[in-house]
Amino acid sequence: MKTVTGIAPVNIAVVKYWGKRDEDLILPINDSLSCTLSTDFMCAKTTIMASPTFPTHRFWLNGKESDFNNERLNNCLTESEYPFHAMQITSKNKTILVRKRANPKCGDLLNWKLHICSENNFPTAAGLASSAAGYAALVSTLSALYNVEGDISAIARRGSGSACRSIYGGFVRWNKGAKPGGEDSIACQIASASHWPEMRVLILVVSDDQKKYSSTSGMKQSVLTSELLKHRAEKIVPGRVDEIIKAIKLKNFEAFAKITMQDSNQFHAICLDTYPPCFYMNDVSRMIIELVHAYNDYQGATKVAYTFDAGPNACLYLLQNDVDEVASLINDIFPSNTNPSEFIRGLPVKLKNSNNLRETLKIQTQTPNKLRYLIHTKIGEGPQILSEASEHLLGENGLPKNS
């Protein structure tokens, strides 16, 4: 048997992907741009074991066995021998997409069945890009198993569109592409993780429940019904992507922050412009937005930027020097009965009393536990293959160790 384990990061978009021009190939209607977060605190881990003794493929996700014939999983594993959009796919004409690019020296390994086990160390389907990390981990680990070389972002895209951005670290652009087969709809790194070392991220987990409207169904309805979505894709995003790339390369936080917040606001406006509308944010989300603008006004400069994906949880971008004050303010406004070491996770934060600042901003302390917890993290690298056998999620018997 052969066993490979890898981890892949979460990425949080600052120019959003919302809407597909091809549902099967997962081709977006606009470019998007994201920041890859450190795998130290938020990542997906996947172990793949191949063996000639396995009678069938099996797949476990977060401790539960799932159907290996899951459509998204098979989008990564399989591809027709002819253009995907031109014919119906049947089991007789499927070939393994990753295996098409496998090193010929793999030999019999290509015919062995797979056991796949994947886990996230953060909430799944709660608007925290869990699918992006999960499919990036799957594809990067499969590629290591079969010694695939070259860009693999287009393969990850077939599982979850935004997963293509998690194939790279740092600041990443997903080019929408123009070819009908999707060959040019790939991700590319525009700046490394080390390019802007002062950049920090605060993830405010408002809810870790599964969201009511899935991203897939929400964006499909937006494409069908939102005129604002069409205007954004054609008129707004092209210039916005160019502007934020310039801001990143110059490390201009004010410009980066303004574009990030404007794009988040416009994305959620599209969700409201969708018919019927999709509601992803809640009252706590909106209070966080008010807090950020009040704090920036008080500072006389844009010190913090918020962005919200398809869920109520906030991602705040800020620079290292401002972390302690902002985290302390959040801690005072959103008190928790949770142990402080559990409430604030990730990189260290030095909390201080911020009641005077809170009163200056005219923001009331909320009833406890409106925030579940906070994660302090930074920009990080792309997927990694782990070398220690102790890291494997599957035991020698091919079953999850934690089952």
271 in a structural domain: yes
Q: CA 379, 345, 357: angle at the middle one, nearest 5?
A: 90
Q: Which residue in 238, 88, 245, 94 sits closest to 178, CA to CA?
A: 238
What's the number of CA atoms in the CB half-sphere (13 Å) around residue 325? 16
Residue 153 placed within a domain: yes
For 147-188, the pLDDT digits (tens) are: 888 899 999 999 999 999 999 999 999 999 999 999 999 999
pLDDT above 80: residue 339: yes
Q: Are 355 and 335 in contact (CB under 8 A)?
A: no
The total number of structural domains in the chain stands at 2
Report if residue 397 sits inside a domain: no
Instruction: Assess whether 188 and 296 both reside in one domain.
Output: no
pLDDT digits (tens, 9 = 90+) for 246-299: 999 999 999 999 999 999 999 999 999 999 999 999 999 999 999 999 999 999
Q: Are residues 227 and 135 in the same domain?
A: no
User: Measured on CA atoms in the order 288, 294, 296, 298, is the torsion positive or negative?
Assistant: negative
Do 271 and 337 belong together in one domain?
yes
Asked if residue 178 is part of any domain, the answer here is: yes
Mean pLDDT of 313-335: 97
Residue 99's pLDDT is 54
170 and 223 share one domain:
no
Q: What is the pLDDT of residue 133?
A: 94
Tally Cβ neighbours within 10 Å of residue 158.
25
Average pLDDT value over all residues in the chain:
90
Exposure string (b/e) for 250-289, b if CB count within 10 Å is 16 or more? eeebebbbbbbbebbebbbebbebbeeebebbeebbebbb
CATH number for the domain that contains residue 119: 3.30.230.10
396 located within any domain? no
Same domain membership, residue 217 and residue 105:
no
Regarding whether 216 and 159 lie in a shared domain, the answer is: no
Q: Are residues 276 and 344 in the same domain?
A: yes
Contact 30, 235 (CB under 8 A): no
Q: Give 57: exposed, middle or buried? Use CB within 10 Å, 0-12, 13-18, 19+.
A: middle
pLDDT higher at 140 or 68: 140
Question: Residue 80: pLDDT above 50?
Answer: no
Give the DSSP H/E element, type plus range, for residue 338.
Answer: none
**What is the predicted pLDDT for the residue at 100?**
59
Between 130-134, 225-229, 247-251, the lowest mean confidence (pLDDT) is in 130-134
User: Do both 151 and 286 map to the same domain?
Assistant: no
What is the pTM assigned to this prediction? 0.91
On whether both 154 and 177 belong to a single domain, the answer is: yes
The whole domain housing 182 covers 2-194+385-391
Asked if the structure places residue 402 within a domain, the reply is no
Average pLDDT rounded to a whole number, residues 13-28? 96
Question: Do 226 and 365 belong together in one domain?
Answer: yes
Q: CA quadruple 29, 34, 38, 41: dihedral positive or negative?
A: negative
pLDDT reading at 87 higher than 90: no
Q: How far is CA 102 from each of CA 142, 152, 362, 385, rounded to the nearest angstrom?
A: 10, 12, 60, 17
Domain presence at residue 323: yes
Instruction: Please indicate, yes or no, if residue 399 is contained in any of the structural domains.
Output: no
pLDDT of residue 127: 52
- The confidence score (pLDDT) of residue 97 equals 52
Residues 257 and 371 in one domain: yes
- The answer to whether residues 290 and 154 belong to one domain is no
- Return the SS3 of 159: coil
Q: Which CATH number belongs to the domain containing residue 355 in this structure? A: 3.30.70.890
